Structure 1
Amino acid sequence: MNTLKIIKKEGYTIVQMNRGKVNAINYDMVQELRQVFRDIENDNAVKGAILTGQPHYFSAGLDLIELFHYDKKQIHDFFNVFGALFIELMQITKPVISAITGHSPAGGCVLAVATDNRFMADGEQYIIGLNEVAVNIQISQNLVETYAFWIGQGLASRYIMEGKLLNGKEALSAGLVDELVPLEQVLPKAEARMQQYLQADQEILLNTKNKLRKNLLSKLDLNAENSLKEAATLWWKPEIRTKMEAYVKSFSNKKKG
């Protein structure tokens, strides 16, 4: 694995995103996440998984600097596999917990809301949310439905339209995260919750997760080719490309500085 670190524990697996300082999501990371979670789902010895990041960053979202230079086929392929990853995470039968070790905007939040629990590092500097409108990326209907599942239709509507990023206290109040804990306790907290799941009768636990997600899954378009088709098309809109180019140049200059 080039972008992930896999830690196998008794009964569960920790999947740590491990791509640079901020865990920006590119094609390779998406494909590695898909493979790891398929393996977890198909391994009877693994009862659940914890998805986590590095100190201060769960994931900063899509790697816009890399994606900006993709050609049309590469962008189509990227959004196709990213949409597929989200659908696959939503359909996993086993419990998956996010240990959010810091910032989790946009694509980071996409991964987190597909999981069953979210424990986030406490700190005013850390943010989470869906700011796709603010960064000129088309949000999918699947993501709208899932965000609303956790925080309610009204808040989801307002926050998505605003491109609002929430600090930890706002995220906790909205129901987006389960609990705020000190950074060094985020992963141990997720592991403690996983131990609770491991103690449960596994057939009952999996049946219950299935029932809890049934209505939400019925609202999703499970065809990955369709889910982010608009995003791939609108990516090439000239005015969006101009804004994105300015962003990429600005961010690249900051990295050089």
Structure 2
Amino acid sequence: MLNVIKHDAITEIQLARPPVNALNLELLRAIQEALADAVRDDARGMVLSGTQGMFSAGVDVPALLTRDRAGVREFWREFFATCAALAHSPIPVAASITGHSPAGGAVLSLFCDYRVMAQGPYRIGLNEVQVGLVAPDCIQMALRRIVGNYRAERLLVSGTLIDAEQALACGFVDELTSVDEVTTRALHWLNETLALPRHAMLATRQIARADLLHAYADMDSLPIDAFIDGFFHPQTQATLHELVARLKKKP
């Protein structure tokens, strides 16, 4: 499910769950374990990457719809725990957005320090509304701190997926490059950052990310149960089942 690649002092954690790197329980737990392993092995920085053309298609909705309420709660708790692991990473993490990144894929990138995205016909965004879900405040704040309050509101309420150029223009991503150079550019940013005086850089980073650290300081304080209530809303369930039906018809 993951490829872990060492680039000297930087560890790359590459999502490798074909065909679209959809997030299921096992993949989320693997990401958390890989993040912890990299820190324990004294990595100085990390890259979270996908495969060419696809960073992550987000949550594995077909699999999630087969789970009962306890199973759905287990999944979403692990999803938020993965966000928390990225938020609390003691070392910088760059997102190598190697292609499409809707919904859950986009969310994970927001908790990284820097986002490089592939140029081309690739889209990114929090399209939860379009599939009947309500993005909770702990996710919305991650977008607000990146693109600002008004832009976040417009993107969230419409559930719009934007292209790479639009993502760069509104600050959703920091840099665009060709699809085969995304990880190279993410590594370049990390190497420049890691060349700075280490204590000052890390201490300043911690202050700058204090809002994320505070929001994800206590998993039990996150609105997981309210989010799950929304997941089981009849209209949401109908929308998600329609989505899965459309996906099954695609060649």
- Please, what TM-score do these two structures have when normalized by structure 2? 0.95
Identity of aligned residues (%): 30
Deviates more, 1:197-206 or 1:114-123: 197-206
Partner of 1:115: 112
8 Å CA contact 1:11–1:48 kept in 2: the answer is: yes
Identify which of 78, 81, 84 aligns with 1:84. Answer: 81
Identify which of 16, 19, 22 aligns with 2:17. Answer: 19
8 Å CA contact 1:138–1:230 kept in 2: the answer is: no
Identify which of 229, 236, 240 aligns with 1:233. Answer: 229
Partner of 2:66: 69
Distance (whole Å) between structure 1 residues aligned to residue 131 and residue 60 of structure 2: 12
Q: What secondary structure sits across from 2:128 in the alignment?
A: coil
Distance (whole Å) between structure 1 residues aligned to residue 216 and residue 86 of structure 2: 14
Partner of 1:144: 140
1:161-218 Cα shifts (integer Å, max 9, x gaps): 0101111111111011111101111111111112112322221221111011124433
8 Å CA contact 1:80–1:229 kept in 2: the answer is: no
Deviation at 1:91, TM superposition (A): 1.2
Distance (whole Å) between structure 2 residues aligned to residue 138 and residue 83 of structure 1: 14
Partner of 1:178: 174
8 Å CA contact 2:126–2:160 kept in 1: the answer is: yes
1:218-242 Cα shifts (integer Å, max 9, x gaps): 3x15332434322222222222212
Instruction: Tell me the amino acid that sits aligned with residue 24 of structure 2.
Output: N
Distance (whole Å) between structure 1 residues aligned to residue 185 and residue 193 of structure 2: 13
Unaligned runs of 5+ in 1: none
1:60-117 Cα shifts (integer Å, max 9, x gaps): 1111111111121110100111111111211112000001100011101011000000
Q: What secondary structure sits across from 1:133 in the alignment?
A: helix
Deviation at 1:21, TM superposition (A): 2.0
Identify which of 49, 53, 76 aligns with 1:52. Answer: 49
Summarize the Cα distance change of 1:54–1:141 in structure 2 as closer, same or farther, 3 Å threshold.
same
8 Å CA contact 1:59–1:108 kept in 2: the answer is: yes
Distance (whole Å) between structure 2 residues aligned to residue 110 and residue 29 of structure 1: 15
8 Å CA contact 1:11–1:198 kept in 2: the answer is: no
Partner of 2:159: 163
Summarize the Cα distance change of 1:227–1:42 in structure 2 as closer, same or farther, 3 Å threshold.
farther
Instruction: Tell me the amino acid that sits aligned with residue 218 of structure 2.
Output: N
Unaligned runs of 5+ in 2: none
- Please, what TM-score do these two structures have when normalized by structure 1? 0.93
Deviation at 1:157, TM superposition (A): 0.9
8 Å CA contact 2:28–2:78 kept in 1: the answer is: yes
Identify which of 150, 153, 162 aligns with 2:149. Answer: 153
Partner of 1:209: 205
Root-mean-square deviation (Å): 1.3
Moved over 6 A (4+): none
Distance (whole Å) between structure 1 residues aligned to residue 206 and residue 168 of structure 2: 25
8 Å CA contact 2:93–2:114 kept in 1: the answer is: yes
8 Å CA contact 2:87–2:216 kept in 1: the answer is: no
Q: What secondary structure sits across from 1:81 in the alignment?
A: helix
Instruction: Tell me the amino acid that sits aligned with residue 86 of structure 1.
Output: C
In the TM superposition, 1:94-113 aligns within 5 A as 94-113=91-110
Q: What secondary structure sits across from 1:93 in the alignment?
A: coil
